Amino acid sequence: MSGPFETEQQARELPAVRAVHEACAAAPGVGRMAPHNKQMLEDACTDAGVAAGAYDRRILAWLAGWEPQTCAVIAGLITRAHAAAPRSASAVEDAARQVLAAWDSGEADWDSAGPGSLTAAVRGLRAALRDGLYSTASGTGARLNALAGWMEERLGDEEYDRQAVAESGVTQIREIARLASGATSVVTLSAAQAETVRQALADAIEWRDPRGGTGCDDCLALDEGGEWPRMCDDHDADQAAVHAYRDLAADLGEAAS
């Protein structure tokens, strides 16, 4: 049992906690509980795949000076956090696969949001990203969240070429999955090289950002009451590229910090 615990007595009844008390009763003395407590905490970290540095180990040794039930609660928190994270990540991965499956079925119904439809699958992906522990602040989570939002908005608007939106979105989901799986080479940039790439991205953003102008004739033809920017397919693709450039520039900034 790793909790959650409602009372101290529940923690005291854990086999690991009782074992510490029994060992110390057999060989009493000051500080006799600490090695057992420390082992309990280190085992929880090891089982969760948590690497401990020198200072981490000092803190674990300090925590080991408390009662075994206190250490058991902390070990339980580590264990439960580790157990919860894979399920949340798995939920997002399953939702992304549902989007691909809905598209691969070849039965896309743009006006349907019912079970099995592409729109429902995209909404499911957004819900999984929102509700799970799979952080949308992470690179992969943020990209999936932005992409799912972009797809949901355009699949629900008949003014857009929804076939093109779906094809682009599915292609990008597959690419995100490929990158997240590690099926790519790693390129290391120096600080100067990263700055050069960021400047190139800034130039590309300025050049491709369709919001910097007043819209082409096709964009303006879509305008209904001065609500531009409702964009034509070409400028909509430019806007998607701008989002990708900004994401990459942000990633480069985080890597350099």
The whole model's pTM is what?
0.40
The larger pLDDT score, comparing residue 246 to residue 49, is at: 246
What is the separation, in whole angstroms, between the first and last Cα of the chain?
41
Cβ neighbours of residue 116 closer than 8 Å, sequence gap 6 or more = 102, 105, 107
For residue 114, the model assigns a pLDDT of: 63
Bond preceding residue 229 cis, omega within 30 of 0: yes
159-169 average pLDDT score: 82
Cα separation, 134 vs 87, whole angstroms: 9
Structure tokens at 201: 């991205």
**Burial letters 41-79, b for 16+ CB under 10 A, else e:** bbebbeeeeeeeeeeeeeebeebbeebbbbbbbbbbebb
Residue of 206, 180, 187, 172 lying closest to 255 (CA atoms) = 187
Q: Per residue in 21-50, pLDDT tens?
A: 898 888 888 888 999 999 999 888 888 777
Residue of 102, 199, 197, 202 lying closest to 148 (CA atoms) = 102
For residue 48, the model assigns a pLDDT of: 78
Cα separation, 74 vs 76, whole angstroms: 5
Q: Per residue in 51-107, pLDDT tens?
A: 777 888 899 999 999 999 999 999 999 888 877 665 556 677 778 888 888 777 765
For residue 30, the model assigns a pLDDT of: 80
Q: Predicted confidence band at 108 (pLDDT cuts at 50, 70, 90)?
A: low
Helix (H) / strand (E) element for 240: namely: helix 233-256
Q: Per residue in 171-196, pLDDT tens?
A: 888 777 766 665 444 567 778 888 88
pLDDT surpasses 60 at 132: no
pLDDT surpasses 50 at 19: yes
For residue 74, the model assigns a pLDDT of: 94
Do the Cβ atoms of 64 and 87 come closer than 8 Å?
no
Residue 53's alpha-carbon distances to 45, 50, 60, 92, in angstroms, are 12, 10, 10, 31
